[in-house]
Structure 1
Amino acid sequence: MPLSPLVRFGTSTWTYEGWQGQVYFKKYSKTTFARECLGEYCQYLSNGEPCFRTVGNDSTFYRPPTPNQLRHYLNQIPEDFEMCFKVWEELTIPQFARQGRYGAKAGQPNPRFLDAKLFNELVLTPYREAKFEPHTGPFLFEFQRHGMSRDEFCSRLDTFFSQLPKDFRYAVEIRNAGLLGPDYRKVLENHGVAHVYNHWSYMPSLREQHERMEQKFTAPFTVLRLLTPLKMSYEAAKKRAEPYAKIVEELPDMRRDTVELLKNAVGDKRQAYVLVNNRSEGNAPLTIQALWSALQDAPL
């Protein structure tokens, strides 16, 4: 049974050389692999159909893309492919962590936090210049754990999204479980912004997140990111899953909750983006194939 066209599966990133012999069969040099393998990624099939119709782009978390980068992607992706870009961290960090990579800003408040003008000028402009809009999936705003209260965070989100253009789609991923609830849901719903259901170390299960969101989606689309096992640190998940060549341990609750959310979303005629990380079960393409099979057993 073909998968509903409303569901798009992809991996958290595509530039993983360990998928040679599984996803990648062309010969690439070390210097060209990351730049040239996206086209082959898009050609990967499952049951004779394109398996990946989306992908995450984590690199844009560290700097916005240039128009030339986006044009380079355009030259490799098919017509129906969409890429989900993380938003530049300069806009999503209320206070910089005490880490060396932040230099003099380490430990300081961030004056650019949720700066709508900056987002419009520095983040969105390259997509318009490159004419990338038809291939742009939801922008992913990843908020690391922080000390802001629910009221302050929701107020800042509300102000920010009220200033953004409506011709792009936006999704919010939080790492503070205490923010989940009616106030947060209503802000997202008022602006047509999706909550990112993230299967991540210290968040509740996907099912519990949906319950805390009053079992309501907040946008005409939804996003799921299957990142790490619950109650397991990033470092432990990485060590457990390396070298990412096989399923090291199935996560049946994660799979069940994913299928249920997808059934609910498609039943509501909503698009659904599912981005899977190697660190969840050990090998993202195999996890996606298992989810695909589970959907066929419980048709949408």
Structure 2
Amino acid sequence: MVPERPYAEPRSGSLFDDDAAPEPGIRPAGPEAGAEALAAELPASLRMGTSSWHFPGWAGLVWDRLYSEKHLSRAGLSAYAQHPLFRTVSLDRGFYRPLTVAQHVAYAEQVPDGFRFVVKAPALVSDALIRESGGKGRTANPGFLDADLAWREYVAPARRGLGPKLGALVFQISPLPGRWLGEIDRLIDRLEGMLRVATMAANESPDAVVAVEVRNPEWLTPAFVAALKDTGATYCLSVHPKMPPIAQQLPILRALWPGPLVCRWNLNLKHGAFGYEQARDDYSPFDALVDPDPDTRAVLTRVIAGTVGAGRPAYVTINNKAEGSAPLSVRALAEAVRAASR
């Protein structure tokens, strides 16, 4: 029996419609000056993209004109995947409700062969609490870090539906209740069991990796690193105010070296740990770099160079709330990577 969903779906946002089938009519923006040449100079094992694709404000950057959010959510992926710098996207909608095999298949059919998906684990297994619609924790989630549930509701559907287009399975562990922070070792044992299931499945897809992203620095212990290493999983670098700057997270990756890179550039640090709504208001319609973050970009450029130089894959997805416009952040990071390789 599947437990109650640990996080209520937002009331608004067509991103959560059940039917992911493509609709006609959305066309990509015209070729961006130099974008194709830039893409050709990037390492083949580097895949960059954004967190979802349903943003009308990307008109002229990704879309040829203004479309509604609902239309983009349902039918924009194919046009998104034609952007020369976008070789991945994060399927964040699955956090609120697990995606089915059919939904994954529908997504895979809309992108070219070289495209790979970053798939975020559902709150069903990655959140310790069942939450109200506003995000407030209501009660303990019995499915938290449950290996069997993760397999049925997340890993198996993604593997079957996406096939070779599966890129990264990301378990983003939501912030823990304060009373649980003293039980990290017990939670790591449960996490390790879940990761063993996920990495066995990921090994069947040529480019797939499993990563863990956390929202409490208390996770970052030798036992946590050992669990990642023992299961073949990796650490997901997270640019988020709840975590130390990514330069301070790098020792975790060094302990797992050589390995793949998975990074989710989530939220500009100026907005604080609970600043998603403020960032949305500050940056909407997401068509300009309002708060450039050159320090994060410089660190990522170095980590990308080291990762792909060692022959490992790198997946980097960027949120609009990182600098103001995810497509422009991808372009700026791509230019930094190219410059560093010359």
Same fold (TM over 0.5): yes
Deviation at 1:39, TM superposition (A): 0.7
Partner of 2:240: 200
8 Å contact kept, 1:182–1:214 = no
Residue 79 of structure 2 corresponds to which residue in structure 1? Answer: 40
Instruction: Tell me how large the CA RMSD over aligned residues is.
Output: 2.2
1:162 equivalent to 2:162? Answer no
User: How many residues are treated as equivalent by the alignment?
Assistant: 290
- Deviations 1:5-49 (CA, angstroms, capped at 9, x unpaired): 1111000111112111210116756653322111110111xxxxx
Closer, same or farther: CA 164–58 of 1 in aligned 2, 3 Å: closer
Residue 107 (structure 1) shift: 2.2
Output the CA distance in 2 between the equivalents of 1:15 and 1:167: 29
TM-score, with length taken from structure 1:
0.89
- The question of 1:3 aligning with 2:42 is answered yes
Distance 1:111 1:118 in 2: 10
Residue 119 of structure 1 deviates from its aligned partner by 1.7
CA distance in 2, matches of 1:260, 1:85: 25
Map of 2:88 onto structure 1: 54
Are 1:23 and 2:62 counterparts? Answer: yes
**Residue 84 in structure 1 maps to residue 107 in structure 2:** no
CA distance in 2, matches of 1:249, 1:30: 24
CA distance in 2, matches of 1:243, 1:27: 11
TM-score between the two structures when normalised by the length of structure 2: 0.78
Q: Is contact 1:57-1:86 (8 Å) kept? A: yes
- After TM superposition, give the deviation of residue 59 of structure 1 in Å: 0.7
CA change 1:41–1:214 in 2 (3 A) is: closer
Percent sequence identity is 31
Counterpart contact for 1:10–1:51, Cα < 8 Å: yes
In structure 1, list runs of 5 or more residues that go unmatched: 45-49
C-alpha deviation, 1:150, in angstroms: 2.6
**AA of the residue aligned to 2:297:** R
Secondary structure at the counterpart of residue 108 of structure 1? strand
Whether contact under 8 Å (2:169, 2:211) holds in the other structure is yes
Q: CA deviation at 1:219?
A: 7.0
- Residue 87 of structure 1 and its aligned partner are, at CA, apart by 0.7
2:217 and 2:141 mapped to 1: Cα distance? Answer: 22
For 1:109 and 1:286, the matched residues in 2 are separated by: 39
Cα distance between partner residues in 1 of 2:147 and 2:222: 24
**Residue 217 of structure 1: aligned partner:** 256
Structure-2 residue corresponding to 1:282? 324
Partner secondary structure for residue 341 of structure 2? coil
Q: Which runs of 5+ in 2 are unaligned?
A: 1-37, 203-208
User: How far is the alpha carbon of 1:162 from its aligned partner?
Assistant: 2.9
Residue in 2 that maps onto 1:136? 166
Deviations 1:90-145 (A, max 9, x none): 10122224x24789xx5222111111111222223333543x22011111111111
The whole-number CA distance in structure 1 between the counterparts of 2:199 and 2:302 is 32
C-alpha deviations, 1:182-231, integer Å up to 9, x for none? Answer: 221111111111111010122111110013x2723367322111111225
CA offsets per residue over residues 222-270 of structure 1, 9 Å max, x none? 2111111225222332233222110112111111111111112122221
CA distance in 2, matches of 1:229, 1:139: 23
2:306 equivalent in structure 1: 264
Which of 84, 92, 108 is the matching residue for 2:139?
Answer: 108
- Contact 1:201-1:234 within 8 A present in 2 as well: no
For residues 167 and 125 of structure 1, do their structure 2 counterparts lie closer, same or farther at Cα, with a shift above 3 Å needed?
A: closer
Report if the CA contact (8 A) 1:192-1:218 is conserved: no
Evaluate the alpha carbon distance shift between residue 28 and residue 191 of structure 1 in structure 2; reply closer, same or farther with a 3 A threshold: same
User: Structure 1 residues 94 and 218 mapped into 2: Cα distance closer, same or farther (>3 Å)?
Assistant: farther
Query: Is 2:161 the partner of 1:121?
Result: no
Aligned match of 1:298: 340
Contact 2:258 2:310 in 1 (8 A): no
Cα 1:295/1:29, change in 2 over 3 Å: closer
Distance 1:153 1:41 in 2: 38
Letter in 2 for 1:124: V
Indicate the SS of the match to 1:142.
Answer: strand
Which residue of the partner structure matches residue 219 of structure 2? 179
Which of 93, 103, 108 in structure 2 is aligned with 1:74?
Answer: 108
Residue in 1 aligned with 2:27?
none
Quick one: structure 1 residues 10 and 280, their matched pair in 2 at CA, closer, same or farther if it must change by over 3 Å? Answer: same
